Structure 1
Amino acid sequence: MSRKYFEEEVIQQTLDYNYAQHSDANKFNIAYGIDKNFLFGCGVSIASVLIANREKALAFHVFTDFFGPEDQQRFDALAKQYATQIVVYLIDCERLKSLPSTKNWTYATYFRFIIADYFSDKTDRVLYLDADIACKGSIQELIDLNFAENEIAAVVAEGELEWWTKRSVSLATPGLVSGYFNAGFILINIPLWTAENISKKAIEMLKDPEVVQRITHLDQDVLNI
């Protein structure tokens, strides 16, 4: 039985700009979930990864609800310039628009759930990045990382005990006093995510009025819970 919450029907169109010279079997997959306001930033982020990792076999996956003619030209040129692959997925967002949003975070923040479900039968790991992240060095350590049985890899800022404590109280999750991770940088353990049905559990929590009252950082809070 499928453990996906989002089936592939939510992807309306796929555009594949593929100038890569490596085989699909060896590539390391990096994904972004954005709306049209972050397309430019996404391109900059992709370029920064490529500049710092010129010899790596990489593939980039951009999940968005808008991709105009100028965007198509720019991303095609970017893929061609760096001899890489950039795949763009146009998303049907209707199921997401009823979920909580804020001035700073639109329903596009939930694209990471679609990303994890999309890759559930395609690979064992995907690096999810927010589009405002710039890469300044090698990602070889991430490529080589071996997960333990119940691990993901995410960023937990050091020295933020006061913040962790506040989140643990607000979210009624005592364990967060030991660390609260940033959902803008996650190396997703796809088999574990799928086995634990994370997308379904997270969306159900985001529809629960009691949970929604407690959260301020939307899916990031829910994933930490």
Structure 2
Amino acid sequence: MSATRLKHVDTLHVAFGVDEKYLHPMAVTIASIVESNPGLELVFHVFIARISPASRTRLEQLEHLCGRPVHLHLVDELAEIKDPGGGKGQAHISKAAYIRLLIPEALQDVTERVLYLDADILCTGEISELSQLDLGASIAAVVRDAGARSKRAGLERKGFALADYFNSGVLYIDIPRWIASGISGRALEKIVDPALNLRYSDQDALNIVLDGQACFIDRGWNHQYGLTGKLKKGKAEMDVPPSTRFVHFIGPMKPWRSWNPHQSKELFLKYQALTPWAGAALDEGFTPREIYVYSRFMYRLMFRQGRWLSGLLWYGRFLRWKHGPSA
């Protein structure tokens, strides 16, 4: 893959921290960004602990297909970067738990700003204005979490009265300020503190250490979309505002489930077709929660369509899974 470029003010650097399992959806995220922003200068950075030869080849193919640099950063090779998990009492924390905390220091000689994204996101809008965003004195631009009220209350019970609470799936980071404030190290201290026992781990920790130092931007930059809730309400169509730039599929259910009856699967497949994973089989797995939600969705759909026998069969499955050992 391409050698890392020097800083360029007109280039938007986008970084991911993933494991091998999430390379496929991450590639689809990248394709959606490029397709939605054909004229934008983009550089992608993939941080991962281990990668197979086959996946490395696919990333090289992705770079060619998208026409944008895709830089691979192997976490175990970042020896010159201080390991935030290497301190006393932190040995039990896996690299996957703090991989995104390595990103700012790893890229400090490459760019002054980086957009971090989770890999369960699809881009549906134009994002060039992000490069011109005035952060003021803030360390990062963030979007309020959909469950901010309850999560703030949870942290308040632990002694942290936060001004607000953001979702950490989309972070636009000012790297020099982040490093100067020691955000990564301070966040790790909170994550590994057994007395805190943070429910949302690194997201809680980042909210604590960035409290008052992050600027909140429009929800369209991180439209948190719960597929489980949509299906429970019988909704199968994509219903996001036109101003949405990033759709973030929060919760356990993702658009790349093969059985997903929601329109999000078609959107995912549209962008998958632009990657080296074109034609790849989608995930066929069910979690117990998904079995319950899916059967409920299906019996209600059958009844609405007047397909009474099919509806009764699905209702029987719903009751079995609802009251059975896996429900």
TM-score by length of 1: 0.79
Contact 1:99 1:206 in 2 (8 A): no
What is the deviation of 1:206? 2.3
Counterpart amino acid of residue 40 in structure 1: H
Q: What SS does structure 2 have at the residue aligned with 1:63?
A: strand
Question: 1:1-225 alignment to 2 at 5 Å?
Answer: 16-17=1-2, 25=8, 26-92=10-76, 95=85, 98-100=91-93, 107-157=95-145, 160=147, 162-175=149-162, 178-211=163-196, 213=197, 215-225=198-208
Using the alignment, how far apart are the partners of 1:221 and 1:133 within structure 2?
A: 20
Contact 1:164 1:179 in 2 (8 A): no
Using the alignment, how far apart are the partners of 1:109 and 1:154 within structure 2?
A: 20
The CA RMSD measured in Å over matched residues stands at 2.5
- Gaps of at least 5 residues in structure 1 are 1-15, 101-105
Q: 1:121 to 1:203 in 2, by over 3 A?
A: same
Contact 1:41 1:132 in 2 (8 A): yes
Q: 1:162 to 1:200 in 2, by over 3 A?
A: closer
C-alpha distance after superposition, 1:200-224 (max 9, x if no partner): 111222232212x2x0111111010
- Gaps of at least 5 residues in structure 2 are 78-82, 209-327
Using the alignment, how far apart are the partners of 2:30 and 2:66 within structure 1?
A: 10
Counterpart amino acid of residue 125 in structure 2: G
Deviates more, 1:85-94 or 1:127-136: 85-94
Q: What SS does structure 2 have at the residue aligned with 1:174?
A: coil
Q: Give me the identity figure in percent.
A: 32
Contact 1:29 1:127 in 2 (8 A): yes
Deviates more, 1:54-63 or 1:166-175: 166-175
Which has a greater percent of strand?
1
Contact 1:34 1:109 in 2 (8 A): no
Report the number of matched residues: 198
Using the alignment, how far apart are the partners of 2:148 and 2:135 within structure 1?
A: 26
Contact 2:6 2:109 in 1 (8 A): no
Q: What SS does structure 1 have at the residue aligned with 2:108?
A: helix
Contact 1:34 1:63 in 2 (8 A): yes
Q: What SS does structure 2 have at the residue aligned with 1:138?
A: coil
Q: Which one scores higher on RCO, CA 8 angstroms, separation ≥ 6?
A: 1
Using the alignment, how far apart are the partners of 2:205 and 2:185 within structure 1?
A: 12
Q: Which has the larger radius of gyration?
A: 2
Using the alignment, how far apart are the partners of 1:109 and 1:54 within structure 2?
A: 33
Contact 2:2 2:69 in 1 (8 A): yes
Q: What SS does structure 1 have at the residue aligned with 2:123?
A: coil
Contact 2:15 2:45 in 1 (8 A): yes
